[in-house]
Amino acid sequence: MTRCVSTAHLIEILEDARSRTLELLGDLDGAQLIGPRLPTVNPMLWEVGHVAWFYENFILRRLYGHAPLLEQGDRLYDSIAIAHDTRWDLPLLPLDETLRYMGRVHEALVGRLEGALASEQDSFIYQFATFHEDMHDEAFLWTRQTLAYPRPRLAAARARAPSADGEAGGLSGDAQVPGGTFMLGAPPQAPFLFDNEKWAHPVELAPFRISRAPVSNGQFMAFVEDGGYQRREFWDQAGWGWREAADAHHPVYWRREGSGAWEVRQFDAWGPLAPDRPVVHVNWHEASAWCRWAGRRLPTEAEWEAAAVGEPDGGRLAPRKRRHPWGEAPPGPERANLDGRALGCVDVAALPAGDSAFGCRQMLGNVWEWTADTFGPYPGFAPDAYREYSQPLFGTTRVLRGGAWTSRARMVNATYRNYFGPERRDVFAGFRTCATAD
């Protein structure tokens, strides 16, 4: 059940998502909007049309019988029917025509909302479709990073940027999380739910220790300089196969400059590697190899969520859990690096106001965090209206938690499950680790 929200809220988030989309496209030329044919990105010109088509198809046409607003829309923008590699070959509309199509869809979406309070159906599908646009906006950011396009100019970054700096030397040490019964997943009364979050169900956790902060650039650099990418003993079979095929020797956007110091590329600019920022753009294989080198391991989903929003109750986990790591208050720039406000990562020790009950920092925002688990259904799973959202990826992808600086605060919380193939390095992903059993 989705909580009914006001029509004013739905219109507000629709307009906010559209503003972000336009910010991410407006400074790019025609060649950049198409870009090279790569397996991890889409032509941005295709992707923005797909966003408009998704609203039209899933809301206006499927639910309310609206006539198509673009005759060739299904042939151009249906992501299920159109193979990824063919999207560069389609007769795509120019950007100005695509934006006019988006505008017509937006007017129709807003025009059919009536009254002060939206229905349960509208509350769900309008939010879902807006979050779908938010996801593509995040994809636009990793496309811009992948293709070395300029750093975008976002109004949110000019308005309320979080503090970037933390304690000198980062944030070390582990948090101790007690064992007990933990309710993994989202409860029915959550304001909004994706199908793969349903439903909260009990899991038994043994006590564990988890790092208070994500792994930093400096910590990961020690692995690189110790020959970690060349030492077979730190990689499982699949990871070693990936490393050899990719000829990987360090994180994808790192390089050594003339003096031997490490540099990192952020969008189109190279600069010194900041040792206290979280390592980012590492895949699941790289994260797992670092863990073996360090004598650590990735947390399970349940451990990650318990450390993020669980609470102690004597020597056990409490039966309750928080909405956010710090409590019920909404995310703000003093607690979480979200919404593109910093236009990049902040130090791993920054934002202590966002600590969880166990003292774990930045469990929302900054970088997505890989977990040990393969993405799969919770007990009793049933797909929602967009049946292809989760189910086709079960069993083949790995779970990430917590969101990144690129993620929208309205969409991401501690029960949100992201999922990518273990080979993906383009996502704004890092990791935190658990101590191995004593």
CATH code where residue 419 lies:
3.90.1580.10
Point out the domain boundary residue: 138, 153, 168.
Answer: 153
Q: Do residues 337 and 149 make contact, with C-beta atoms less than 8 angstroms apart?
A: no
CB within 8 Å of 80: residues ≥ 6 apart: 388
Burial of 37 (0-12, 13-18, 19+ CB in 10 A): middle
Tell me which residue of 372, 423, 370, 429 sits closest to 404, measured CA to CA: 429
> Domain check: are 331 and 215 in the same one?
yes
Nearest CA-CA partner of 126 in 265, 11, 292: 11
Question: Coil, strand, or helix at residue 178?
Answer: coil
Asked if 93 and 144 sit in the same domain, the reply is yes
Same domain for 271 and 408, yes or no, is yes
Distance, in Å, from the CA atom of 326 to the CA atom of 356, rounded to the nearest integer, reads 5
Q: Based on the domain organization, do 141 and 276 belong to the same domain?
A: no
Residue 296, SS3?
Answer: strand
Number of domains in the chain: 2
* Cα Rg, the chain, nearest whole Å: 22
Backbone angles phi, psi at 315, to 5 degrees: -100, 15
Does the residue 94 lie in any domain? yes
Tell me the whole-structure pTM to 2 decimals.
Answer: 0.96
Name 51's Cβ contacts closer than 8 Å, sequence gap at least 6: 21, 102, 132, 133, 136
For residue 397, what are the domain limits? 155-438
SS3 content of the chain, % helix, strand, coil (to 5): 35, 15, 50
- Give yes or no for a contact between 309 and 123, defined as CB atoms under 8 angstroms apart: no
CATH code of residue 83: 1.20.120
- The answer to whether 196 and 390 are in contact (CB under 8 A) is yes
Burial code of 282-301, b = ≥16 C-beta within 10 A, e = fewer? bbbbbbbbbbbbbebbbbbb
Same domain, 55 and 133: yes
Domain check: are 149 and 159 in the same one?
Answer: no
Spell out the residues 6+ positions from residue 125 whose beta carbon is closer than 8 angstroms to its own: 58, 59, 63, 385
Residues 161 and 112 in one domain: no
Residue 393 lies in a domain: yes
Torsion of Cα atoms, 75 then 77 then 81 then 82, to 10°: 90
Residues 36 and 169 in one domain: no
- For residues 161 and 142, membership in a common domain is answered with no
Please report whether residue 355 resides in a domain.
Answer: yes
Asked, for residue 79, whether it belongs to a domain, the answer is: yes
As a whole number of angstroms, the distance between CA 400 and CA 135 comes to 14
Residue at a domain's end among 153, 187, 220: 153
In 40-119, which residue ranges form alpha helices assigned H by DSSP?
44-55, 73-77, 95-111
Q: Which of 118, 134, 153 is the last residue of a domain?
A: 153
Both 209 and 138 in one domain: the answer is: no
Specify the 3-state DSSP secondary structure of 324: strand
Both 98 and 175 in a single domain?
A: no
What is the per-residue burial (b if ≥16 Cβ within 10 Å, else e) of 322-356? bebbbeeeebbbebbbbbbbbbbbbbbbbbbebbb
Give every strand in the sheet of 434-435, ordered side by side: 174-177, 208-211, 434-435, 296-297
pLDDT of residue 2: 77
Burial of 316 (0-12, 13-18, 19+ CB in 10 A): middle
Any domain includes 40: yes
**Residue type at 156 in one-letter notation:** A
What is the model's pLDDT at position 1?
65
7-59 per-position pLDDT tens digit: 999 999 999 999 999 999 999 999 999 999 999 999 999 999 999 999 999 99
Residue type, 338: L
Long-range pairs, 58-63, Cβ under 8 A, ≥24: 58/125, 58/128, 58/129, 58/385, 58/386, 59/109, 59/125, 59/126, 59/129, 60/105, 60/108, 60/109, 60/112, 62/385, 63/121, 63/125
Please confirm whether the linkage preceding 304 is cis (ω < 30° from 0): no
* 314 in a structural domain: yes
| Listed residue (350, 214, 216, 213) closest to 273, CA to CA | 216
The reply to whether 2 falls in a domain is no
Residue 295 confidence (pLDDT): 98
**Considering the domain boundaries, does residue 106 fall inside one?**
yes
Which residues, including other chains, have CB under 8 Å from residue 347's CB and lie 6 or more apart? 164, 165, 166, 167, 170, 274, 276, 277
Check residue 191 and give its pLDDT: 87
Q: Which parts of the chain sit beneath pLDDT 70? A: 1, 159-170, 438
101 and 166 co-located in one domain? no
What pLDDT was estimated at residue 375?
Answer: 98
User: Rounded to the nearest 5°, which phi and psi values hold at 240?
Assistant: -65, -40
